[in-house]
Chains A and B, each alone.
Chain A
Amino acid sequence: MVLILSEHQDASTVEVLKWLNHFGITWIRINEDDEVRFDCLEFAGNQLAGLVITINGKPLNLVEVKSYWYRRGWLHYGAQYISGKISNHSLVNENMHQYLQEELDNVMEFVHRYLQSEKQCINSYLSAKNNKTYYHYVASKAGFDLPDTLIATQKKDLERFSDESGRGSLITKSINEMFSFTHDGKCYRNLTNEVRQSDIQEGNKVFYPTLFQTYVEKFFELRVFYILGEIYSMAIFSQLNAKTQFDFRNYDHEYSNRNVPFILPASIAQKVKVFMAEIDLNCGSLDMIVTADGRFVFLEVNPVGQFGMVSNPCNYYLEKRIAEILSQ
Chain B
Amino acid sequence: MNNKMHLKEGLLINTESLPFSVRLWTATSVQIPFKGPREVKSFGTREYKYKKYYKYISRRG
Contact = CB atoms under 8 A, between A and B. Distances in A.
Note whether A and B contact each other (Cβ less than 8 A): yes
Interface of A: 4, 6, 8-11, 13-15, 17-18, 28-31, 33, 158, 172-173, 182-191, 193-195, 199, 202-204, 206-210, 212, 243, 250
A184 B5 CA distance: 12
Contact of B26 (A4, A33, A188): A188
A28 B45 CA distance: 11
A193 B26 contact: yes
B30 interface: yes
Contacts of A187: 27-30
Contacts of B25: 188-191, 193
A318 to B, nearest CB: 15
B45 A13 contact: yes
Contacts of A209: 19
21 contacts: A4-B44, A8-B47, A13-B43, A29-B43, A29-B45, A31-B44, A158-B20, A172-B21, A173-B21, A183-B11, A186-B29, A186-B30, A195-B20, A195-B24, A202-B23, A203-B20, A204-B15, A210-B20, A210-B21, A212-B20, A243-B2
A9 B47 CA distance: 6
A193 B45 CA distance: 35
A31 B44 CA distance: 8
B10 interface: yes
Contact of B10 (A6, A184, A195, A243): A184
A202 B29 CA distance: 26
Given A28-B44, A186-B27, 20 more contacts: A9-B45, A10-B45, A11-B49, A14-B43, A17-B44, A30-B44, A31-B45, A33-B46, A158-B20, A172-B19, A172-B21, A182-B30, A185-B30, A189-B26, A190-B24, A193-B24, A202-B23, A204-B20, A208-B19, A250-B26
A69 B22 CA distance: 36
Contacts of B44: 4, 6, 8, 17, 28-31
B60 interface: no
Q: Which among B25, B48, B49 has the highest number of chain A CB atoms within 10 Å? A: B25
Given A186-B30, A189-B28, A11 B19 contact: no
B18 interface: yes
B51 interface: yes
Nearest to A200: B20
Contacts of B17: 208
A173 to B, nearest CB: 8
B51 A11 contact: yes
